[in-house]
Structure formats: C-alpha cells, structure tokens
Structure 1
Amino acid sequence: MTSTTPRIDVEELRSLFLFESLDDDVLAWLAARAEVRVFDADAVVFAEDEPAEALFVLLEGGLLLSKHATGEDLVINETSHRGTYAGAVRAFTGGPPQRYQTSMHATRPSRFLWLAAADFAQLVQQQCPMAVHLLDGIYEGVRATESTMRQREHLVQLGVLSANLAHELNNPAAAAVRATEQLRTRISGMRNKLSLLAKEGLSPEMVAKLVAVQEQSVQRAQKPRPELTALEESDLEEEISDRLEERGVAHAWELAPVFAAAGLDATWVDDVVEQVDGGVKWDAAFGWMRYTLETEALMSEIEEATTRVSALVGAVKQYSHMDQAQHSEVPLKPGLESTLVMLARKLTGIEVRREYAADLPLVPGYPAELNQVWTNLIDNAADAMAGAGVLTLRTRADDSSVFVEIGDDGPGVPAELQPRLFEPFVTSKPAGQGSGLGLENAKRIVERRHGGSLTYTTGPAGTTFCVRLPRRSGS
C-alpha cells in the first residue's frame, strides 16, 4: 500500500545531507513542492525502464535497488541509511526524457521524500549551474563516444561480412568463368571431330547410331556412382586406355581419364563398338564422345557455380530481410543458416554441429536485429576457437519461450571478465580487434527489443550463450 502524507517541513529537509547546505528560502521552496510518500514492506517504489518521474529520498525505513541482468534481478544496493536517494538523479541533464535505470523496493514500511523530476532539475540548475554544465559535458561526451564506437562496431561488422561475402561469391564466379572458357574450347573440338566424321560420308543410320550412343553415354555419366580411390581410378583409366588402343584409337591415354571421370569403363568401349558396328573412324568417334562428356561436365560445373551464387544472394536477402516487414513472426532457423553463410570464410576449419528442434515455433520480433545477435555470438565463438574447434547451434522450446544456444569449445571467458562481460567496451580481444560492444548490443536487442534474456555458461571446455525469446509479445 502506498499513501501520501502532508508535506515535509523545512527542519526535516535540513536534516537530510542532500539539502543541509541550502538556505531557508530554497528549503521553503523545496518544502512547498515535495511530498512524503509511505510504502509498505516489499512494495515497488519504481520499476526499471519506466519514465523517471521523480527523485526519491529515504526518510525512514529501508530500500533495495536492483537491476535486471543475465536473466535475473541483481541487487545493486540494500540500505536503511537515512538520506539515501535514487530515481531521477540525472533529471537536470539535457536530452530526451529519461527512464529509471534500476528498480527500487521498500524492504520494510518506509517513508520517502518525493520530488518531481522537473522540480529537482530546477533546484540543481539554480544552485549548482557550473556543476550542471560540467556534468552535462561529461554525459554528452560519454554518449558521443559510445555512439561513435557503436557506429564503428557496425561498420567493422559490415566490413567483415562484406569480405566474407566477396570471398564466397568469388569462388563460384571464378569457377563459372573458368568453365565457360574451357567450354568454348571443347565445343570447338567437338565441331572439329564432327567435321571429320562428316567427311566420311556417314549414312543417316550411322549418324543416328552415333547420336544414340552419345545420349546413352551422357545419361550414364549423370548417374551417381561410388567414389574411387586413387589406385582404383588409375586401374580404370589403364583398362579403358588398353581397350581404346585395341580399337586403334591414337592418344588413348588422353581420352581414358575423361571417360573414367564420367563413370564409364572398358565394357562401355565394347558397347560403343558393338552398337555403331563399324564404318567409322574410331579416333573421330571416341574423340567426339570425349568432347561431348567434357562439355556436359563443364555445363554441370557452371550450373553448380551459378546455383551457389544464387544461394548466396538468397542468403544475403534472408540475412538482411529485404522487402519484409520490420516486425513479424520470425522463423529462427533460416536466420541462423544465413548467418553461417555470411560468416562462412571465418568458420573455415571449424566444424558446425546443428541440433535444431523439429517444428520450432515462430517468435515475434525483428528478424534483421536477431541476425545481428547471431552474428555477434557466432563471430565471438569463432574468435574463441581461433580457427579450429566445434561450433554447436542448438534450438529448443517450452510453453512460453524459444531458446537458441550457441556454443564453442574454446578456452572459456577469463574469470576477471565474467562479471562485466555484457558491459560496454569490455572485451578479451587484443587492442584494435574488438570494441567490446558486440555482446552489449546483443543483450540490448534480446532484452529491450524482444523482452527475452541472454545468459551464458563458461569453463575450460568452452562457452555457451543462451538466447531466450518469448513466444508471445510481452511474455
């Protein structure tokens, strides 16, 4: 229960160390504006993140200040010292409307002086103008520094992602260019062999046989086949080469590796000879087959490369959530997967284990911001493992929340950093390699933007961060 009593008198105000140096006129002005509010034991005096409406000064009783962090309420201060103050302590500074940075409970029946934030600001500005200017400068400097560092962090992260993406795009693009150049040469060779066959004056029936054998060979080459050891592949090439030489094919050793790579064998050579049934130069016929199979292989390589480019572009779109509503019902798996694609270069040498729960429910949120969280956590895990280790992504859900766990098997968070791990500018990375804002930014997105929590466990066997997101807004 909370109640307001008659206004405080000047003598009681003078007995508080916060106001003891004020003259009678100022104390009278203050007494006319202040209230005395009474709270029962365990009553909430004010709650974290609510608008900071007033300054509270303890007159009698006890108070407890707490702050929500790492998924629990941490006690900041518990005292019965008369004159202790909390609440809108920075009301005198400029800028946007402020919010309470902590929560305060009465630990026993208590009386508090209540002074509206605007009145407290006026009092301080009139009594201590120089101090106000100095403190304003300090606060603005801190805010400007933090804003600059956040922008730098985002630019650095964007640069890392851009470099990863450029590397990932370059490989398939270069493969497609290389295959295209080779394809032009193979098509030229195919035309040459076809010209040699044409000079023999082949009948339509013979041409039909050659085309049929060509189609059969291509279809056979496209079928899945078991992987061969280097020795098995060498033996297969030798068998094909011997059979081609038996048919009088010159440079059989050049053709054999192509046929072997396509999954063909010496029996296939016999089948071609049997189906075509003579009347053709085997050099030209098998040469034409060689260029046909190489052309098919190169077209498959181009298809794979361009498909990879398309998949990367799709991953970028998924990661950035272009053309999608800012707030929506978010499936978490696509965001995790697109983040892995964006960070693929940094994850080279690291084994990624996925332990995704089936039918994971959607969560209300901001998908692009959640991808920033995954980026920070996965990037930190990769740094912790220094290019070698196991990255584990695990999802699960209960009736109220969805959980995403991102773990590494690195050396763990140093003991001296653990109490301050989510504070701005705290980092275990060498100077110049991290701003210390990644985890703080992730925590802010998870807790303030999504109403969830970000916690971690750590030890010599590694570190696991757990993101809890409510299944319903406001949960």
Structure 2
Amino acid sequence: MTTTPPHGRALAATDLHGVELFSGLETDQYEWLASAGVAADLADGEVLFRDGERADWFCVLISGGLVITTVVDGREEVLTRHVAGEGHGARENGDKPSAAHGFTGEMPLLIGGDYVATATAVGRSLVARYDRDAFLEMMVRCPRVTRTLIPVLAWRIHSSEVQAGQRGRLNALGTLAAGIAHELNNPAAAMARSSADLAAALPQLEERAQAWGAAASEAERAAVAAAREEILGRPPASGPRDALDAAEVEDEVSDWLDGHGLARAWRLASAVVDRGLDADWLDALARGMRSETVVPALEYLDVSLAAANLAGEAGEAGARVSALVGAVKEYTNLDRAPEQEVDLVQGLESTLAILRRKLSGVAVSRDYQPDVPVVLGYPGELNQVWTNLIDNAVDAMEGGGSPPELGVVVRLEGTCAVVEIADNGPGVPSDVLPRVFEPFFTTKDVGKGTGLGLHLSHRIVAQRHNGSIQVRSAPGDTRFIVRIPADGPGPGRVCRLPDTPGR
C-alpha cells in the first residue's frame, strides 16, 4: 500500500518558479507542470513515501526539506537530506549537484520498482507529485528538465553503487569479525582450559616422577619410559570403534588397575584403551617389574600421560587458531598487490571458513576439478563475490522444507575457469529471474537487503575480470555460475555469454 500524504491541493504555476529542476521554462510549460502534478502539503515529520512501497510518484520539493533514510540491520540510517533551493546551480561538498536537492523517487519509478528508502518532511514542506505517465511526458515536453535530471540521475546511481560497495565491505568485515570471534572462542577456551589444567598437574607430576625415580631400578625406568612412548606414539581413537566393545575393554582395564591399587583408575584406563591397548598389555608391563614398584609406575604413567594429553590439546587448539588466521589472511589478502594470481579453490575455502557460523546446519558439498589453473584478478573482490553468493544461497534456503544443501563447484570450461554456487532452496520466480542483477532490486524484507549485492558482484566479474555471471533456477536447484578467463583478463580474453537473463 502506498502512503498518500494529506493536505493535497492543486498546484499553481507560480509554485514551481523557484525550483531549479524547472528553471528557465516557458510559461506554457509551467502551466502544464502545474496541471499535471498534485501538491502534497506536509507537516514536520510526515512521511512522503516509505521504504518497500510501490513507487508511484516522482516527487519535486518546492519548499521545506526532506530527510531520506533506510533501515540497515535494524537501525535507521540517514542517506541524504534535501533542502529546497539549496545552493542553486552549484555543487556542495561531496560533489552532490544542487539540483539533487529538488527531487526524489525517479529511479524506482522508471524501473517500475519499489521505493528503496523513506522520505520524511523536515519542517513544513510542499512537494509536487507526478505519476509515471506524467513524469515521462514531462521529459518529452520539457527538454530542459531532462538535461538537468539526467546528470543528477547518473550521480545518484554512481553514489549508490559507491555507498553499496562501502556497505558491502563493511558487511563483509562485520561477517568476518563475527565469524572470527565465534571460531576463536572455542580453541581459545580450550587453550585456556588445558593450560590451567596443565599448570595444576605439574606439581603432581613432579611428585610422582620423584617417587617413581626413587623406587625404580634402571631397567624398570627404561621399561616404563618405553611404555609411555608406545602409548603416545599410537594415534588417538585407535581402540575399538564399537562403543560397546570399547566400554567392555575399558571396564577390564579399570578392573586390572583397581586390582593393582591405582586410585582414579578410570583416567589411565581411558588413555590406554583410546590408544588401542588392553589389560594384557598392562600384564606384560607389570611382569617385568617388582611388585613394590608397580603402583608407583602406574601413578607416574597416569599423571605423565594426563599432562601430555593436556599439552596436546593446547597444541591442537593453537593449530586451529593458526589455521583460522591463515584463512582470514587468505580471505582478506593482507599485504598483497591488488592484482595477482588467484587460486579459486583457496579463495572459496577461505570464504567457507569465514562463513562457517552461518553455514551451521547446512550440508556443504564440494566438487573441485584438479586441472583448473590459477586466474589473474583481484582476490579481495572475488572473495566479496563468493561471500555475496553463498550468503544469498543460505538466506534463500531458510524456512525451506528440505534440509539445506549448498554445492560449490570449480571446473575448467574451455579457456574459462567456472565457479558454481548452488542451493536447494525454493528457487527464484520466473518473473524475478531476469531482474536479479538490476541495481536496487531485492526480494528480501525491508532492512535486510540493499538490492545491490548481486549488481556489484556482476560488475566485479564482468567489468573487473572480463567474465560473466548468470543464474539458472528451478525449485530445489538454483545455481549462480561465474566464468573467468583462465589465462587472465587481458585484451580479447573474455568469458561472456549472450545477455540472456536466466540462461
């Protein structure tokens, strides 16, 4: 439903004389403009149109002011302000043409879309509104209006793309920061926990080592040292795979350790069975020792293996942190030249790692052909494309009836490297498919999309990499297909398709 401001009245030609968009017109042109438009007399804070409403009007500000806002991530942001008569004929800081203060709503009206922002009156304001037919006739009847309007329209498109690019980078950084915080939390907590437990275990280890060293003969110390190395040399989880079998063996080992007087027998039993050993192995170890040294040996083994496991856990957590830092560095391409050889698989894997939190619950399948060469391009920009496509795919699968599945394919097609991002969501409606790469077009709820993510992705692929991006969609199978020259984006090296939406 479109907002219709009250206080409408007929326009007079004299109302329009001070509007820069209408300056220098003939008397009959002013009279036609007055008869074709409808006045909206707005009180302070009154809404002229809202974000997401169908664009039915081209609005010309006669007096007063308008603030243009949009909702981003639940927060209202001011995009710009229009003030009637501001800087007539000049450009203000930020290169905004003065005529841009005088009108709004032309872009969504021209493309038959929805308003992409909300316009609210600042102070008492008078606005002339023209429907689409009158707007188009205006440009024919009044060529001077068209000459003023077109440069402003071009400036607005460029500014919107710049803002969307900045917002896209900020969104990517926000996604990156959230992903890093989430991914670092688990290994960092594991490192802190293991370090604290290891610090607590060291005094006990020292005590047991001294007791064992004092009680054991040289041969016994060598035998226990060899047993310790044998346990640690075996891979973890090399014991029985069946849970019932493992529990049975662990009970037997615990009974054996209990029978030999070891307190907390469960901990050493778990370590022994996890490495594929059993009570017979302990029997063989004990047979080579005097009866009075068996318990000190087991106590030393217990504490020593526990400390080694804690150190191993801290090391594994540190390795996960290092791997995450590597993924972040690869994703952001820190300290690298802007144009370089790009490993597409590496970039996709880094993007998947960064988005792992959002991908929770999504089954990800990979099909990477081994013969795909590196491409010459801009890795940071390509990673932004992968982020947009994967993020959109996950959003499209939300609330679907099937378990979400994301497919990532990299293959070679002639001289083109091809990346496919597929999802099993409900698909893109056939009437929407031809418009998915248009600027400001979005099917997401108000505040959840700018309508520029796919448009910018298209520009990055087509203009920066001489490639192409297309979409094919059916219920349960939507695919975005990116083609990039495998031998670099030089002259004559292109990977483009006929401009047929949805091919």
TM-score over 0.5 for the alignment? yes
Count of paired positions: 354
Matches of residues 70-219 of structure 1 in structure 2 within 5 Å? 132-133=147-148, 135-198=150-213, 200=215, 202-219=216-233
Q: Equivalent pairs: percent with the same residue?
A: 40
Question: Structure 1 residues 408 and 226, CA, compared in 2 at 3 Å: closer, same or farther?
Answer: farther
* Residue of structure 1 in register with 2:68 after alignment: none
Whole-angstrom CA distance in 2 between matches of 1:344 and 1:253: 36
* Residue of structure 2 in register with 1:230 after alignment: 243
* Residue of structure 2 in register with 1:110 after alignment: none
1:442 to 440, 443, 457: 457
* Residue of structure 2 in register with 1:324 after alignment: 336
Amino acid at match of 1:214: R
Whole-angstrom CA distance in 2 between matches of 1:183 and 1:460: 54
Is the 2:239–2:276 contact (alpha carbons within 8 Å) kept by the matching residues of 1? no
Amino acid at match of 2:204: G
1:333 to 319, 334, 345: 345
* Residue of structure 1 in register with 2:45 after alignment: none
| Bigger Cα displacement from structure 2, 459-468 vs 241-250 | 241-250
Whole-angstrom CA distance in 2 between matches of 1:366 and 1:197: 62
1:260 to 248, 267, 273: 273
Is the 2:254–2:265 contact (alpha carbons within 8 Å) kept by the matching residues of 1? yes
C-alpha distance after superposition, 1:8-39 (max 9, x if no partner): xxxxxxxxxxxxx99xxxxxxxxxxxxxxxxx
Per the TM alignment, residue 229 of structure 1 is displaced from its structure 2 partner at its CA by 3.2
Amino acid at match of 1:305: A
Question: Structure 1 residues 139 and 365, CA, compared in 2 at 3 Å: closer, same or farther?
Answer: closer
Amino acid at match of 2:273: A
Gaps of 5+ in 2: 1-24, 27-88, 97-138, 494-503
| Bigger Cα displacement from structure 2, 445-454 vs 230-239 | 230-239
Per the TM alignment, residue 365 of structure 1 is displaced from its structure 2 partner at its CA by 1.5
SS at match of 1:186: helix
Matches of residues 17-56 of structure 1 in structure 2 within 5 Å? none
1:421 to 415, 427, 436: 436
Question: Structure 1 residues 321 and 366, CA, compared in 2 at 3 Å: closer, same or farther?
Answer: same
* Residue of structure 2 in register with 1:315 after alignment: 327
SS at match of 2:444: coil
TM-score (norm 1): 0.68
Whole-angstrom CA distance in 1 between matches of 2:287 and 2:424: 61
* Residue of structure 2 in register with 1:453 after alignment: 468
SS at match of 1:276: coil
Whole-angstrom CA distance in 2 between matches of 1:292 and 1:358: 45
Whole-angstrom CA distance in 1 between matches of 2:375 and 2:474: 30
Is the 1:93–1:132 contact (alpha carbons within 8 Å) kept by the matching residues of 2? no
Whole-angstrom CA distance in 1 between matches of 2:447 and 2:376: 36
* Residue of structure 1 in register with 2:407 after alignment: 392
Whole-angstrom CA distance in 1 between matches of 2:219 and 2:408: 61
Larger radius of gyration: 1
Whole-angstrom CA distance in 1 between matches of 2:371 and 2:439: 36
Whole-angstrom CA distance in 2 between matches of 1:251 and 1:442: 60
Whole-angstrom CA distance in 1 between matches of 2:340 and 2:214: 68
C-alpha distance after superposition, 1:80-104 (max 9, x if no partner): xxxxxxxxxxxx99989xxxxxxxx
Whole-angstrom CA distance in 2 between matches of 1:257 and 1:149: 56
Is the 1:179–1:299 contact (alpha carbons within 8 Å) kept by the matching residues of 2? yes
Question: Structure 1 residues 266 and 366, CA, compared in 2 at 3 Å: closer, same or farther?
Answer: same
C-alpha distance after superposition, 1:237-264 (max 9, x if no partner): 2100221233233443454234333433
- Does residue 486 of structure 2 align to residue 471 of structure 1? yes
Amino acid at match of 1:234: A
Is the 1:93–1:136 contact (alpha carbons within 8 Å) kept by the matching residues of 2? no
Amino acid at match of 2:415: S
Matches of residues 348-359 of structure 1 in structure 2 within 5 Å? 348-359=360-371
Amino acid at match of 2:370: A
SS at match of 1:372: helix
Is the 1:262–1:293 contact (alpha carbons within 8 Å) kept by the matching residues of 2? no
SS at match of 1:395: strand
Per the TM alignment, residue 159 of structure 1 is displaced from its structure 2 partner at its CA by 0.6
C-alpha distance after superposition, 1:437-465 (max 9, x if no partner): 11111100011111111011001122001
Whole-angstrom CA distance in 1 between matches of 2:434 and 2:227: 73
Amino acid at match of 2:371: D
Is the 2:415–2:485 contact (alpha carbons within 8 Å) kept by the matching residues of 1? yes
Gaps of 5+ in 1: 1-20, 23-91, 97-123
* Residue of structure 1 in register with 2:385 after alignment: 373
